[in-house]
């Protein structure tokens, strides 16, 4: 005000200048308020967008985590189901193999028992013969085959029967030697007719041993 008065302005001029100054101040204040409101609104908008993006990111992360957990559970359930089915299949396979093995052994025992009973009427000797014969038999392509030390041969069952007679004459009825010294051979054969070696006895089952002794069998050293 002092500055304006120093210019020598009249009261009317001074009032007009003051009015102009006040108008400028008003315009400045209005402009400042509008700009401030605009900046605040823009800032609020940016802040809201940031919060929205943050929520979306958190929701996406949560959804991804849930999907991963569900996938893990599904894979684990499938793994457990697969392992359970595999275990059941293994058990069934073992049972089938065991049944097949038992069927094969039963057929071998039947065939070897038939051959042994054809060689002697003595029960104890028939048991020993059957044991020796069964070790030489195998099932190949659903047929009885003769083996030697586990290897297949071209021998027939008749060939095997002849071999058994030669190797175990003391277990076979009517196979004692004839000719010179026949009496002594026959006597020794009779003495050995109900005798078996310690090795053969050890290879017998408990029931076979009991049956052997019940029939009057005796042991002799190898």
Q: 194-220: per-residue pLDDT in tens?
A: 677 777 777 777 766 766 676 667 776
Q: Is 148 helix (H, G, I), strand (E, B) or coil?
A: strand
**Which of residues 79 and 133 earns the better pLDDT score?**
133
**Which of residues 198 and 158 earns the better pLDDT score?**
158
Share the mean pLDDT of the chain: 77
| pLDDT value, residue 185 | 42
The Cα–Cα gap between 125 and 5 comes to 155
| pLDDT value, residue 222 | 58
**Which of residues 186 and 199 earns the better pLDDT score?**
199
**Which of residues 91 and 73 earns the better pLDDT score?**
91
Check whether 49 has a pLDDT greater than 50: yes
Q: State pTM to two decimals.
A: 0.45
Average pLDDT over residues 14-29: 74
Which residues have a Cβ under 8 Å from the Cβ of 213 and sit 6 or more positions away? none
Average pLDDT over residues 43-53: 81
pLDDT band at 175 (very low <50, low <70, confident <90, very high): low
| pLDDT value, residue 92 | 85
Least confident of 69-83, 172-186, 191-205: 172-186
| pLDDT value, residue 219 | 73
The Cα–Cα gap between 110 and 104 comes to 10
Least confident of 3-7, 78-82, 106-110: 3-7
| pLDDT value, residue 88 | 85
Place of tokens 């290879």: 203
Average pLDDT over residues 102-123: 89
> What is the phi/psi pair of residue 162, to 5°?
-65, -40
| pLDDT value, residue 188 | 47
**Which of residues 61 and 8 earns the better pLDDT score?**
61
Helices (H) and strands (E) in the chain, counts: 7, 5
Report the first-to-last Cα separation within the chain, whole angstroms.
148
Provide the residue count of the chain.
222
Q: Is 142 helix (H, G, I), strand (E, B) or coil?
A: coil
């Amino acid at each position: 005000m002092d500055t304006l008065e120093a210019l020598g302005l009249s009261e009317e001029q001074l009032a007009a200048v003051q009015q102009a100054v006040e108008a400028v101040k008003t315009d400045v204040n209005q402009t400042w308020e509008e700009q401030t409101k605009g900046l605040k609104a823009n800032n609020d908008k940016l802040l809201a967008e940031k919060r929205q993006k943050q929520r979306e990111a958190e929701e996406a992360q949560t959804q991804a985590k849930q999907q991963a957990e569900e996938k893990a559970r599904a894979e684990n359930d499938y793994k457990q189901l697969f392992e359970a089915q595999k275990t059941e299949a293994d058990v069934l396979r073992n049972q089938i193999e065991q049944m097949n093995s038992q069927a094969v052994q039963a057929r071998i025992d039947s065939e070897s028992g038939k051959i042994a009973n054809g060689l002697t009427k003595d029960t104890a000797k028939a048991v020993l013969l059957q044991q020796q014969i069964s070790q030489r038999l195998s099932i190949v392509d659903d047929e009885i085959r003769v083996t030697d030390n586990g290897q297949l041969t071209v021998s027939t069952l008749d060939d095997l029967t002849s071999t058994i007679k030669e190797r175990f004459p003391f277990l076979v009825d009517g196979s004692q030697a004839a000719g010179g010294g026949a009496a002594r051979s026959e006597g020794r054969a009779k003495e050995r007719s109900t005798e078996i070696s310690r090795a053969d006895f050890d290879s017998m089952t408990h029931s076979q041993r009991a049956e052997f002794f019940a029939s009057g069998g005796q042991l002799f050293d190898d």
